[in-house]
Amino acid sequence: MPVLAMPAGTLDLRGVIEATLARNANVRLARSQLDIAEGGILVQRGAFDWRTQADLSRQQFSTPLSGADRALFLDTAPGHDNNLTRLDTSSVGVQRRLESGLVIRSGLTHNLSGATLVTPGGTPVTGTGSISFGLTYPLLRGGMGTAALPLRISELESQATRFDLEATVALSLFDATARYWSYLSALRRLQISRDSEARGETLLGQLQKLADADELPRAELQLVRANLNDRRFQRLQAEQAVLAARLALGRTLGLGADEASRIGMPVDEFPGAAVSLDRQLTAGREALAEAALERRAELLALARRDQAAGFGIDIARNNALPQLDLSVGLSSNGLSEMQNRPTLPFVPTFDRLAPAGYSVGVTFSYPLGATTARGQIAQQQGLQQQTATRRQELAATVRSNVERAVFVYQSNRAVIDQLESSRKAYEVALDNEKLKRSLGLATLIDVLNVEDRLTNASLALAQAQGDYASAIALLLFESGQIIDNRGGDYVASADALAGR
């Protein structure tokens, strides 16, 4: 008959907390989602980065000389049939959009041209160019403070995702803690079942000797053997429960099957009275529920998304407005005349700059019907309504879950008290039945029945102790107290989870 092997090593609640924070799959996925959200902020901030553009080009071409041109250059360049021209062009510009919607731009252009043949009195190389500065401000669409709203939405989504991570950490820690206590409870029940089986085997051996000595009817042995088989079946079921609890704990801790099978024996004892929680409950369940509404990360995440949805409506409404942009600019043109091409042909070297000129303009555009904008408004309003409804439902759920967690916590504590009394009573009753049997006032079946009841009471007590320990973690989770966020690092108290 197979017997479940017990692994070497130990495991405590602090180790469970550390492993959950480091290796739990849901926590790791939530952290990755936060990285994505924070990357979204950078993407939106990129819309307000300085943007630069530079162009360099060179053209060289020959133009056939007409008869008049050849006569003109007869003295200076006899024998030429073509005039070789080279044109170097360069430009550089910078532009930035501010969060107000204002667009700043500045640029510099330069053209340097020179020909092989120059008319008498002409300049072989000529440089022209301009320096400009301009502003464009959206008066309606894209203005009115809406240019920065996509960035604000990304920041709110990042905050909401951080609260999602906190909620995932809290839930994962509750799950891991509950599975830890379930594992300990299963081990205790297995030990009780093994002790019961060992007592059954000892009793069968003792009675077998009596039967062999004809001091006991052999019919009595059948009852003991049947009872022992029941105890063996009970022990096998307990071993299966231990293995299942161990593997479930391992998966929650992010362990593989091989690692999970080697999880050590828990070293923590089941908690007694949770003084801190009892003290909070003296203020009333309503106060605990109100505090939970302020602490629960899920509600805080929805609050951020509700605010982001409001910004989305503002953007959609702004997109329904006409595009009306005001543009102003200043520019100055320059000229340089040279006998030879400069060493750096693409670098402006102006001899003269003309007085600055200006430009003012207005651009207007509007899609008739604004169908897209109206659709966006409807979408964003629906999204905000969804978020508001989810907040209301979640708040109601948190209230009811806190109420249920309080009841589970208190009722499990009462169950433990009752089962401890029952176990003690059965221990006394078993001693009495054994004494009565020795006096001939009770039968073997009476003793076995009372012993089985004692075993069942002990099993029920071990189960109740695990349920009570899990109820402490449940109440801490539902009331938003299972973890503490310290500067982005999540901390859980093993003492609090153990009711200390």
Name the phi and psi angles at 126, rounded to 5. Answer: -130, 130
Could you give the dihedral angle defined by the CA atoms of residues 378, 383, 388 and 392, in that order, rounded to the nearest 10 degrees?
Answer: 130
- CA-closest candidate to residue 470, choices 174, 253, 269, 168: 174
**What are 101's two structure tokens?**
């919607």
Cβ-based neighbour number of residue 123 at 10 Å: 15
The residue among 494 and 436 whose pLDDT is bigger is: 436
Tens of pLDDT, residue by residue over 353-375, are: 788 899 999 999 887 777 888 88
Asked if residue 339 has pLDDT above 80, the reply is no
The CATH classification number of 10-42+150-308+379-497 equals 1.20.1600.10
Confidence category of residue 495, pLDDT binned at 50, 70, 90 = confident
Residues sharing a CB contact under 8 Å with residue 111, sequence separation 6 or more, in sequence order: 87, 88, 89, 127, 128, 129
Instruction: Give the three-class secondary structure for 286.
Output: helix
At residue 186, what is the residue type?
A
pLDDT at 498: 76
Mean pLDDT across the stretch 128-137?
92
Cβ-based neighbour number of residue 73 at 10 Å: 19
Tens of pLDDT, residue by residue over 220-233, are: 788 888 888 988 99
pLDDT at 464: 94
Name the phi and psi angles at 434, rounded to 5. Answer: -65, -40
pLDDT at 4: 62
Asked if residue 96 has pLDDT above 60, the reply is yes
Helices (H), 24-148: 25-45, 67-72
pLDDT at 150: 92
Q: Which of 14-23, 115-124, 238-247, 357-366 comes out lowest in average pLDDT?
A: 115-124
Inter-CA distances, 25 with 158, 163, 258, 377, 397, Å: 20, 17, 17, 38, 26
**CB-CB contact of 499 with 469 (8 Å):** yes
In whole angstroms, what is the distance from residue 289 CA to residue 465 CA? 25
- Percent pLDDT > 70 in the chain is 91
Q: Where are the domains of the chain?
A: 10-42+150-308+379-497, 53-97+102-138+324-365
pLDDT at 244: 92
